[in-house]
Every structure is written in C-alpha cells, then in structure tokens.
Amino acid sequence: MMIEVVASMARGPVFLAGELMECLITFTNPMSHLSTSASSEMLAWASAQIHCQFHASENRVALPAQGNKQDVQAESDTVLIPSRGERGQCVLDTPPKILFCDLRLDPGESKTYSYSEVVPIDGPPSFRGQAVKYVYKLTIGCQRVNSPIKLLRVPFRVLVLQGMPEPPFPQDEEVSPSNPFLEEEEASRRDARPLERALDMLMATTSRRCPHMFNITNMRGKVAKFCIFKTVYRLGEDIIGTFNFSEGDIPCLQYSVSLQSEEEIQEQYQRRPGQAVSVTGHGRHLESCLHTASSHFSLPIPLNVTPGFSTDIVTLRWRLHFEFVTAREPMEPPTVLQNQSEVTVWAGAEHVDVDTFSWNLPIKVLPTNPALASYVSQFTGTNSINI
C-alpha cells in the first residue's frame, strides 16, 4: 500500500527573486486495477511552501545565541515543519498553501495539482561559500490519516537582481480593457511581466560599453597600458581585456589574470578580529609576453557561480586579480638582418633578475536569464517520494 508523489518544475530549477515559480505535483496510486490486492488509497491532506536554509561554518562565523526557545509542536511528527531534519536555520519561508484535503485515489488513478508562488524578493540568493550557505527548497508535506507527515523536497536556485519590480503589477499597465475570451493568455502575460522587465533592465545595464584605460606601473616605471571595455557583466559573459606593452618602459616577461570572488563576513559576526577574506578562483589566463607589443585575454564567467550580493552576515564581491613579472634591466629584442639568408635560432636568457607585483580590479557580476542558468544547474527541478 503506497502512493507515489512526483513534483516537477516545468520551467527549470532556476528563478529570479520576485518571479512566479510553478510546480506540478502528481499523486498516483500505482496498483493495477486488475490486481486482486488492489484497493483505494486515501490521503488526509497535502500542502507546499518555499523555505531557505542558512548554514554557517562555526570556525569562521560567530552567530548570536538562539536561546532555548522551542515550539512544543515541533516535537510532534504530525505537525508540518518544512525545515524538519535540515541543517542550519530557516531564514525565510512562505505561507503554506493547501493542495487538497481528503484525496481518494482508486487503483491506477493519478491526480495532478499546480502549486505557484512568487519567490520572495527580500531573501538572499542561493550561495555555497566557504563560510556561509543559503539553500532554497520547495517542500511538499503529505499525511495519511493517523500517520506521520512525509516531506518531499525539491531544491532550486534563486538569483537576486537588485531593483527588480515587486508584484503586484503597477496600475498603469492595466489601462486596456481585458478580453474575456483571452483570460488565460492575458494572465500568463501578466505573470511574465516582472521577469521581462527584470531581464530588460539587466540587458540594458550590462550592455553599456565604456572603455576604461589603466596605466600599469611599478616602482621602476611604466609596464603597459590596459584597456577593459566594461566592468559590469552577466553570468555566462566573457570578460575581455587588452594590454599594450609598446608604450611601457619596463619589459614584462609574463602576466596572469584571474577571476576571483571575495567572501567577507561582516565584522560583528567574524569569529576572530581582522579575519581574512575568503578568496575563490573561477578561471585564470597566463601568458608569456616578452618582446610582445600587445596581448589580450578572455575569461568566461561560469553560469553556476553566485553574483555579487550582501546580507547582514556576508558580502560577496568580484574582482580581476592581475600578476606581473617584469625585468629589472632593459632587454633588447633579437634583430634580424634584412639580407640574412641563414636560419637564426633565438635563445632566451638563462638568468634574468625580475620583480613581481599584483593588482586587483573590482568588477560587478549580475544574474542572467534563469532559463539559461538552468542548463548547467546541479538541480533537476524534479523529485519523488513514496508514502
């Protein structure tokens, strides 16, 4: 005797905060009506809600004491606690929505219910850092009569974009009379408006190009001129920059550019005073450039990383980290005579006295279209349970 419950997010497992999330939840009595032991199955009720779990490393984060307050109902397995058994603290949840009461399923029968909820706009993004984690899940609770509650969890990813319009929709958009024959189409279009406006704003912000020029120097003089075409990017974009070494006075032997994120715990929650920022690398370009007039690099921003954000506990920032290796003395380039017919072999110097220095350039990383991010998500948007 059992009922199979399957939850599926048809649009994919990635959403923007403020977007409408929809999930189809199917309840099936898998017994064949031809079976001699087949019988109808009953469920007392089922509900669904979104919640966000927060987990912090005890070695890096000092959270205030929670006290000994405890709801006596939480001791009971017949009370719906969506975060029951989860690690960390539940920092955000939506009100539960009842899917049904007293459901009867005959052998081989299935019934599907649609759950929809706006992903809270005031919550943190999904994030798995070195010190802090924020994890979102849709939890479906089901219960047979006189039996414990069973929980089905579907993890999903939330991207947060600052300035995304909040529902309900602005009044000035409802100026045209509605068509009673197109109610479903118009409702679907209204639901998509917040996402469309957010994506339009995102595209406008990240499409602006304004070249930024930097003179790269050390204590001995000018090394190169660096140009980057913008400093605000979407997930999945390529960061492109160019170097002009012909204007430099100091020979550059090698350079590297790394895409890095910085995870900083707010001062009042740091485990130790002056605690170091956690730095994570997400890609690196390394190139030898002696006697090179110009060079460029291209670093892709992975679709599965978290855009920059800040909460009362942690701040995530992005930067480009540059490292340069320069010669202390001038190095003359090899020369080739115009009338030389024999093959010439160029050999590098066996020993060069060098200096090294680094530089950090802050950049902004914003979300992208959630449908695009769904292609590389670790989540499937589907899960099932037998009760």
Q: How many CB atoms lie within 10 A of CB 338?
A: 4
The pLDDT value given to residue 204 = 87
The pLDDT value given to residue 81 = 72
HSE toward the beta carbon, residue 269, CA cutoff 13 A: 19
The pLDDT value given to residue 1 = 67
The model's pLDDT over 8-50, given as tens digits with 9 standing for 90+, comes to: 998 899 999 989 999 999 999 888 766 666 688 899 999 999 9
**Spatial CA neighbour of 280 closest among 122, 131, 140:** 131
Alpha-carbon span 68 to 151, nearest angstrom? 26
- Are 256 and 284 in contact by the 8 Å Cβ rule? The answer is yes
Residue with tokens 């929505």: 97
Q: How many CB atoms lie within 10 A of CB 343?
A: 5
CA distances from 69 to 12, 65, 72, 94, 333 (A): 38, 11, 9, 22, 74
The β-bridge partners of 252 are 326
The pLDDT value given to residue 351 = 87
pLDDT at 289 exceeding the cut of 50 = yes
The model's pLDDT over 307-331, given as tens digits with 9 standing for 90+, comes to: 999 999 999 999 999 999 999 988 8
The pLDDT value given to residue 313 = 94
The model's pLDDT over 147-172, given as tens digits with 9 standing for 90+, comes to: 889 999 999 999 998 644 444 334 34
pLDDT at 302 exceeding the cut of 60 = yes
The β-bridge partners of 362 are 319
Return the higher-pLDDT residue of 52 and 78.
52
Mean pLDDT score of the chain = 86
The pLDDT value given to residue 39 = 80
